[in-house]
Amino acid sequence: MSPGERDLTRLLASLSPLLDPEEYGFGLLPPEAPLPLAPLALFREAEGTTLIAPAQDLARAGVPHVAGWARITLMVHSSLAAVGLTAVVAQALTSAGIPANMVAAYHHDHLFVPWAQRQAARDVLDRLAAAARA
The region of weakest confidence among 30-34, 39-43, 91-95 is 30-34
Check: CB of residue 43 under 8 Å from CB of residue 49: yes
**Neighbouring-strand partners of residue 29:** 49
∠ CA 111-114-116, rounded to 5°: 130
Across the chain, what does the average pLDDT equal? 94
Q: Where are the domains of the chain?
A: 8-133
**Homologous superfamily of 8-133 in CATH?**
VC0802-like (3.30.2130.10)
The torsion angle over the Cα atoms of residues 129, 124, 39 and 103, rounded to 10 degrees, is 60
Predicted confidence at residue 32, as pLDDT, reads: 86
The SS3 assignment for 104 reads: strand
Predicted confidence at residue 2, as pLDDT, reads 58
